[in-house]
Amino acid sequence: MTHHVPRVTPAVMASRTPAPRPAAAPRFDRHAWEEALLAAALPHHNARLLGWSLAHLAPASGQFHAGNQNDAGHLGRATRMTALQLRAGLKSLERAGLIVRARGPVTGQEHALARAFTLTLPSAAARTELAHTGEA
């Protein structure tokens, strides 16, 4: 008995197009985010320290999932900050447009820190720059 092997032609190969891949999530640009952190008008130096720590800990997506790396214990140890300082720093970073936090009901101090958030760049409209005086 002979097995028939189908002949592969260019037409057959063209009809075998691979399934489209899902679009890749945009990668977190740590350098651009750190530049935005430096330019941001933050009310307290703890927010900037927290921002540097988050940039260091951020995965390639810039997304921190609920719990894990952004729980009070982990962030507190990494930054030597209290839970109160962490909450204030996250709120300052959010107001500056440097993070977007997950919405939802918040109960308790620990849970407020463990919500998911993403490091983002502030919109151009939200940025303010000092007028240049023309001097060096």
What pLDDT does 106 receive? 55
Q: Is residue 78 part of a domain?
A: yes
- Over 80: is that where the pLDDT of 50 sits? yes
Q: Is residue 20 part of a domain?
A: no
Q: What is the pTM assigned to this prediction?
A: 0.67
What pLDDT does 2 receive? 65
Q: Is residue 35 part of a domain?
A: yes
Confidence of residue 124 (pLDDT cuts 50, 70, 90): very low
Q: Is residue 128 part of a domain?
A: no
Alpha carbon distance 42, 104 (integer Å): 25
Range of the domain at 40: 30-119
The total domain count for the chain is 1
Span 48-63, mean pLDDT?
91
**66-120: per-residue pLDDT in tens?**
766 666 778 888 889 998 999 899 999 999 999 998 876 555 554 556 678 899 9
Let me know if 94 is exposed, middle or buried by CB neighbors in 10 A (0-12, 13-18, 19+). middle
Q: Is residue 131 part of a domain?
A: no
Q: Is residue 87 part of a domain?
A: yes
Query: What stretches of the chain show up as alpha helix (H) in DSSP?
Result: 10-15, 30-39, 45-57, 72-79, 83-95, 109-114
**Are the beta carbons of 87 and 75 closer than 8 angstroms?**
no
What pLDDT does 1 receive? 59
**15-34: per-residue pLDDT in tens?**
776 666 655 556 789 999 99
What pLDDT does 85 receive? 92
**Are the beta carbons of 113 and 93 closer than 8 angstroms?**
no
